[in-house]
């Protein structure tokens, strides 16, 4: 630090060492010195503010961020950190004012996105939709804004407007898979299965090697009760995306029970270190009551991809049924430390803003685990759902 007092990376490593081995006071003192030498190093200001916040000193965190503003007036990171501090401490008006100033000083995609989601989370749909006009004018190719607009329009009952929004989105963001998926799901939700199928076909022509688009097409047919069409599509999908674990996992779940072992072997040959495949195989061991093997494969999945929330949900669901309280607690602890963000079930729960707003990783894990109990995971449940709906009709 004496030799390189203006080198940000040295101060960051020193702060990490102090956090692990020193006291809260010594860390605070070190970070104070750090920002005096490196006032433009946003990460150092944010580390200091976070430490104050986590220790319960909200005013202290606010003071550090105010100093950070003076040193970095156009920093997106500082603006958003300040907004988060106010939002999560029940100060929505302060958060609103901060974001209004941020849009003037640093009107980035993320600043506009946070502005809209703040209004949405406060239940102000009209305000959120009003902000989306200038947001999309400033950033017409930012696909998340298009999806957010369609989502809010759907919630407001403006289904035709949502359809128009997504129609524009696929034109300005033709290479963006989430936009195509949202457009197809909107059509399917309103009974237009043929239109949804057509959209997914066009999407796959533009993005031939996209496993998620193939998976959605397969699941569309499964939800519609067209098992034969789903199997045909899956065969084509695996030809196009030979090493896509996402597809192989679904293929295992789709097979008749007698053929699942063979399909698992094929999947492991194609991609033996893919967390989606390992997750799917762990569920076969779980179903067959081979508990130690199931536990080992559950653990292997989360080790391979700690960011895959579905793997953690699967592991926790297994331990809730077969593990001890200590084993359950250990999976929970490891999941919270990993802080996962991906996976179909995980993102579906995390982004259900009407019920899961502000949930911790622990709360998300418990809900995802509930959804991933044997027979309830989407890959396993779709054929049953289709059969029951056709029986009811």
- Tell me the pLDDT tens digit for each residue of 255-274: 999 999 999 999 999 998 99
CA–CA separation, 69 and 46 (whole Å) = 11
Q: How many CB atoms lie within 10 A of CB 302?
A: 26
Name residue 342's beta-bridge partners: 308
DSSP assignment letter at 157:
T
d(CA 345, CA 309): 8
Residue 7 φ/ψ region, left for φ over 0, alpha for ψ in the -120 to 50 degree band, beta for the rest: beta
| Size of the chain, expressed as the number of residues it contains | 393
Token pair recorded at residue 244: 């896509």
pLDDT of residue 111: 93
pLDDT beyond 80 at 145: yes
Least confident of 238-242, 278-282, 353-357, 380-384: 353-357
Each residue's pLDDT tens digit, 44-84: 888 888 888 888 888 888 888 888 888 888 888 888 888 88
Torsion of CA 23, 28, 32, 33, to 10 degrees: 10
Contact of 175 with 206, CB cutoff 8 Å: yes
Q: What is the pLDDT of residue 65?
A: 86
CA 188-189-192 angle, 5° bins: 40
Residue 353 has pLDDT above 60, yes or no: no
- pLDDT for the residue numbered 310: 96
| Residue 226: C-alpha distances to residues 175, 219, 233, 263 (Å) | 28, 10, 11, 21
DSSP 101-140: HHHHH---HHHHHHHHHHHHHTT-HHHHHHHHHHHHHH-T
Contacts of 264 (CB under 8 A, 6+ apart): 252, 277, 280, 281, 284
Q: Facing residues of 308 across strands?
A: 342
Q: Is the Cβ–Cβ distance between 313 and 371 less than 8 Å?
A: yes
- Amino acid 21: pLDDT: 83
Q: What is the spatial distance between Cα 375 and Cα 379, in angstroms, rounded to a whole number?
A: 9
Q: Share the mean pLDDT of the chain.
A: 89
Per residue in 321-352, pLDDT tens? Answer: 999 999 999 999 999 999 999 999 999 888 76
Nearest to 179 by CA among 143, 215, 142: 143
Give the pLDDT score at 358.
Answer: 64
Q: Are 306 and 278 in contact (CB under 8 A)?
A: no
List, for residues 130-139, the tens digit of each pLDDT value.
999 999 999 9
Q: Are 364 and 331 a contacting pair, CB within 8 Å?
A: no
> CA-CA distance, 125 to 295, in Å (whole number)?
45
SS (HEC) of 187-241? HHHCCCHHHHHHHHHHHHHHCCCCHHHHHHHHHHHHHCCCHHHHHHHHHHHHHHC
- Predicted confidence at residue 393, as pLDDT, reads 41
- State in Å, rounded, how far the first CA of the chain is from the last one: 73
């Amino acid at each position: 630090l004496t030799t390189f007092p203006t080198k940000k990376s040295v101060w960051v490593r020193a702060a990490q060492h102090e956090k692990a081995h020193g006291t809260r006071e010594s860390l605070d003192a070190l970070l104070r010195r750090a920002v005096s030498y490196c006032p433009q190093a946003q990460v150092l200001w944010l580390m200091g503010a976070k430490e104050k916040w986590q220790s319960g000193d909200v005013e202290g965190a606010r003071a550090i961020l105010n100093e950070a503003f003076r040193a970095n007036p156009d920093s997106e990171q500082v603006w958003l950190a300040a907004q988060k501090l106010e939002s999560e401490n029940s100060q929505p008006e302060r958060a609103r004012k901060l974001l209004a100033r941020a849009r003037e000083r640093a009107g980035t995609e993320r600043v506009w996105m946070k502005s809209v989601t703040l209004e949405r989370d406060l239940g102000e749909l009209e305000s959120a939709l009003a902000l989306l006009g200038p947001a999309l004018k400033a950033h017409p190719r930012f696909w998340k804004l298009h999806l957010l607009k369609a989502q809010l329009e759907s919630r407001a009952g403006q289904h035709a407007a949502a359809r128009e929004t997504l129609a524009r989105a696929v034109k300005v963001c033709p290479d963006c898979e989430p936009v195509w998926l949202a457009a197809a799901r909107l059509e399917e939700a309103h009974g237009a299965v043929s239109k949804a199928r057509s959209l997914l076909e066009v999407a796959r022509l533009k993005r031939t090697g996209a496993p998620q688009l193939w998976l959605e097409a397969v699941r569309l047919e499964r939800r519609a009760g067209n098992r034969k069409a789903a199997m045909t599509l899956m065969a084509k999908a695996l030809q196009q995306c030979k090493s896509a674990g996402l597809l192989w996992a679904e293929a295992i779940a789709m097979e008749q029970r007698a053929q699942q072992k063979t399909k698992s072997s094929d999947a492991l040959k194609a991609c033996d270190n893919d967390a989606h495949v390992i997750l799917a195989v762990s569920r076969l061991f779980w179903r067959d009551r081979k508990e130690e093997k199931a536990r080992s494969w559950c653990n292997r999945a989360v080790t391979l991809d700690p960011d895959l929330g579905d793997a953690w949900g699967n592991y926790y669901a297994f331990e809730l049924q077969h593990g001890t309280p200590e084993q359950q607690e250990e999976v929970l602890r490891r999941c919270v430390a990993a802080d996962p963000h991906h996976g179909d079930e995980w993102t579906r729960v995390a982004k259900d803003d009407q019920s899961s707003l502000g949930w911790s990783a622990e709360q998300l894990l418990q809900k995802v685990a509930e959804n991933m109990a044997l027979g309830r995971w989407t890959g396993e449940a779709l054929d049953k759902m289709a059969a029951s709906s056709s029986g009811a009709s």
